[in-house]
Structure 1
Amino acid sequence: MSNAPSDQPQRGRFHLVDLFAGPGGLDLAAEILDIPSIGIEWDDDAVATRLAARLKTEPGDVRLFGPGNLGFEECNVLSGGPPCQTFSIAGSGSGRKALDLVTGFIHRMHAWYEREKAGERGENWEDIQRELDKLDDERTGLVLQPLRWIFEAMLRPRHGGTAPEPFEVIVLEQVPAVIEVWHEYEKVLRKVGYKTYAKVFHTEQYGVPQTRRRAVLVARHDDFPKDFLSPTHQQYRKGVAPAEALFGGRAAWVSMSDALNDVYRHVGVKQADRRAKRFCVVSNYGSGGDPKARGRRESNEPSATVTGKWKRNRIVSADARETEMERLSNEEAGVFQSFPYRYPWRGNDQAQQIGNAVPPRFGVHVLSAALQLDPPGDDVWEKLLRWKPRQTETQDLDNDQSA
């Protein structure tokens, strides 16, 4: 029997609440790290996927909940990935135009917190929420909900408690355009006692077989080490082989074929379901500003960013003929997002769920660093690769009776 991880007592004291939890990328990362979590999600299809994956879920609108609600009283880690469509380059851009407006709301929320703390009267949260509800796209205002949760935890006792219990650690994740919002978050979080770290990360530098950039904000009460969340893999550069770019002892980035072959070796995928030949993914999107110049990635490279429209991408053989091949399956696209091959996608528009999700492997790295756990090793990645939904107590009883 192997010894327990040296940080087992440390991870045992954490309990995570995940706002806008989606189909479960960050919750799955928490499960792999043996950290209890509960996710709030309002999309019925994502909820169906979460329930099939046996992830603890509170269906509903984040705006209708707070840290004082029953079920969240033990949560001392707050995470969240608010809807990103209005901030995304691929979206309408209304969120980017509203960045100045959102910045103003952040500082009004801080002023609300300081007045509440001092027992003074003035603009309260309900006043602010009414104005947020008037924005052209309500999703833009949702990026402020984690800040409301943070301030409410600092102002009011949790369910059954006698004193406020601030979150020990905060982990927020969004598209790169939101880094400006996270920097404004940093300003007010530092004023109320948190140390913060915000940066745009490349997920292929953490073993995800996909080039995907994510803006991450981590806040906690301790200082951050200089090597906080250091990359474990090289950054992908078109036309540059990993060995040519080797530096700092980092591993080569992981290609699509590497990721699929790892699954084939370890998970027992039937031969008929395997993608045997080299292939090329031809993007539905233009490249370099030319809508006719479709982006291309061969299977010996990482996938391009998996968006909610990935099913529109063509798959052709990686040879001169470019023979049309079967398009990606949910399982394959999920693997490129670093989900287990048999993750139980459910409901409608599963492609959108996959494209919107946090890559679990990246989530493992972020949570391990944010919670000051040991760096994840091969045992953690093996656990993620072979993951299956946990059995419920009812299932365990049924299995015992049928044995």
Structure 2
Amino acid sequence: MADLSVVEICAGAGGQSLGLELAGFDHRVAVELDKNAANTLSENRNHWDVRLGDVADESIWNPKEFPEVSLLAGGVPCPPFSIAGKQLGATDERDLFAWAVEAAGKMEPQAVLLENVRGLSMPRFSAYRQHVKDRFKELGYWSDWKLLHASDYGVPQLRPRFVLIALRNEYTPWFEWPEKAPYQGTVGDALFDLMAADGWPGAEPWRAKANDIAPTIVGGSKKHGGADLGPSRAKAAWRALGVDAMGVADAPPSESHPIDFQPKLTTEMVERIQGWGPDSEYAWKFTGRKTARYRQIGNAFPPPVARAVGTSIANALNRKGRRKKLSEVENDAMHDRLYLALRSAPVALTAKELVKLAGEKIDGPTFERRMASLAKDFVIREDDQLGGRAYRLVGFKGFVGQEDHERHSRFSEMRSRIS
């Protein structure tokens, strides 16, 4: 087995970190913007090189200083793609996905792991995803995306995460997505001992009511107030499980609470829902005040899921298992045909020409909507010609490390509220 090293960006409080460590990866450096999360990393692994600051600031760390690392991993910010947000994509100052691809180009790791919210899997970002795949191909990597649910990997909540894996071409035949190992139980099973810890007489009836897996834990951001368990739909799902989702409790209900009391979760309970456990290999200590701890826990990549994905990557890097054809490895190419037509056209083309080149049946209004969506992430030049208005793809709007990119000023302005 080869020695495996990892550089982790946007490391958070350590969900992905712990999972990758258990999969056999040794951290060379972990970079995180939030002070509380960075403190938690250092508290749990004081021998790690934990760096606090903007991951895109080369005075904090320089990708070129870490050549030949086994894995570049990170949970780059979610708001640019979140369904609950504005889905600004490449024009959001928090978008670091394309930047992370370029960082990989500088480091030349054997593999890359980037995870994000389900929103990135939506049609709105099909061209963005294709752009990422195309860039990885230029850099000598095979890449693939897959939507993974935490409940399929031993975690008692749904929590869909959209995961990108990129591998140097020589390792690709040995990669396969991790096999599912679904959580066997309910929220009631997972949290019963914690709910009953202070003698609450309603713990057993509550356990019977909490008879499903949890909805996705929502860590929230610094833009909002105190901690709660998510938007209205999530709150309703928690209410059906017998949980008050309007905040996080300091302690579990006690023997003085009535049987029909509707409890809030404590941060220790949220840890359990995320896959951590004090009496297991997933033990982890969180620093800071209650709301800060909750956000660290709630925004994390569940450690068991990170471990499963990390193990699949480790197996590929060690050429472990059966060698496969690329067609067996690829999950879904997810091509955006209109984007591909624009990208491949040597000259500006009219709508009719682009639709024909794309091989799709698209009416005029649909074409305009698709082009407007593409224009959110790409620079598209429009010119009037004899045959009608012509279009040409001339650039990508995302931040990939440019010194003069407007991301820097917006990031500086918004920094106190970025999380």
Cα shift readout 1:323-363 (whole Å, capped 9, x = no counterpart)? 33331011110110101246322124222221210000000
CA distance in 2, matches of 1:85, 1:68: 28
Is 1:36 paired with 2:26?
yes
CA distance in 1, matches of 2:240, 2:259: 5
- The one of 140, 149, 155 equivalent to 2:103 is 149
Is 1:336 paired with 2:329?
no
Q: Which aligned pairs between 1:150-229 and structure 2 lie closer than 5 A? A: 150-153=104-107, 166-179=108-121, 180=125, 181-221=128-168, 222-224=171-173, 228-229=177-178
Q: Give, in angstroms, the shift of residue 224 of structure 1.
A: 4.5
Q: Is this contact kept in 2: 1:316–1:323, CA < 8 A?
A: no
2:260 corresponding residue in structure 1: 323
Q: Is this contact kept in 1: 2:146–2:163, CA < 8 A?
A: yes
Aligned length: 271
Describe the shift of the 1:34–1:370 C-alpha distance in structure 2 as closer, same or farther (beyond 3 A): closer
1:384 corresponding residue in structure 2: none
CA distance in 1, matches of 2:263, 2:119: 34
SS at match of 2:203: coil
CA distance in 1, matches of 2:15, 2:197: 28
CA distance in 1, matches of 2:105, 2:190: 41
CA distance in 2, matches of 1:317, 1:46: 29
Kindly provide the amino acid, as one letter, of the partner of residue 60 in structure 1.
Answer: G
Describe the shift of the 1:48–1:15 C-alpha distance in structure 2 as closer, same or farther (beyond 3 A): same
Describe the shift of the 1:334–1:170 C-alpha distance in structure 2 as closer, same or farther (beyond 3 A): same
Cα shift readout 1:69-120 (whole Å, capped 9, x = no counterpart)? 3xx45632100111112311122x142xx4xxx3xxxxxxxxxxxxxxxxxx
Cα shift readout 1:144-167 (whole Å, capped 9, x = no counterpart)? 2211211212xxxxxxxxxxxx20
Describe the shift of the 1:168–1:201 C-alpha distance in structure 2 as closer, same or farther (beyond 3 A): same
Q: TM-score, normalised by structure 2?
A: 0.58
1:345 corresponding residue in structure 2: 286
Kindly provide the amino acid, as one letter, of the partner of residue 120 in structure 2.
Answer: V
1:359 corresponding residue in structure 2: 302
Q: Is this contact kept in 1: 2:242–2:263, CA < 8 A?
A: no
Q: Give, in angstroms, the shift of residue 316 of structure 1.
A: 8.1
CA distance in 1, matches of 2:242, 2:299: 28
SS at match of 1:277: helix
Q: Is this contact kept in 2: 1:315–1:326, CA < 8 A?
A: no
Q: Which runs of 5+ in 2 are unaligned?
A: 221-226, 230-234, 244-257, 322-419
SS at match of 1:62: coil
Describe the shift of the 1:27–1:318 C-alpha distance in structure 2 as closer, same or farther (beyond 3 A): closer
Q: Is this contact kept in 2: 1:182–1:217, CA < 8 A?
A: no
Q: Give, in angstroms, the shift of residue 168 of structure 1.
A: 0.2
Describe the shift of the 1:150–1:303 C-alpha distance in structure 2 as closer, same or farther (beyond 3 A): same
Is 1:277 paired with 2:204?
yes
CA distance in 2, matches of 1:212, 1:224: 29
SS at match of 1:272: coil
Describe the shift of the 1:178–1:298 C-alpha distance in structure 2 as closer, same or farther (beyond 3 A): farther
SS at match of 1:29: helix
Kindly provide the amino acid, as one letter, of the partner of residue 62 in structure 1.
Answer: V
Is 1:62 paired with 2:55?
yes
Kindly provide the amino acid, as one letter, of the partner of residue 277 in structure 1.
Answer: E
Q: Is this contact kept in 2: 1:20–1:40, CA < 8 A?
A: yes
Q: Is this contact kept in 1: 2:69–2:110, CA < 8 A?
A: no
Describe the shift of the 1:147–1:278 C-alpha distance in structure 2 as closer, same or farther (beyond 3 A): farther
Is 1:259 paired with 2:190?
yes
Kindly provide the amino acid, as one letter, of the partner of residue 106 in structure 2.
Answer: E
Describe the shift of the 1:273–1:46 C-alpha distance in structure 2 as closer, same or farther (beyond 3 A): farther
1:157 corresponding residue in structure 2: none
SS at match of 1:230: coil
Q: CA RMSD in A?
A: 3.2
Describe the shift of the 1:278–1:53 C-alpha distance in structure 2 as closer, same or farther (beyond 3 A): farther
CA distance in 2, matches of 1:199, 1:81: 15
CA distance in 2, matches of 1:305, 1:316: 14
1:299 corresponding residue in structure 2: 210
2:397 corresponding residue in structure 1: none
SS at match of 2:20: helix
Cα shift readout 1:115-145 (whole Å, capped 9, x = no counterpart)? xxxxxxxxxxxxxxxxxxxx4x4103x2222
Q: Which has the larger radius of gyration?
A: 2
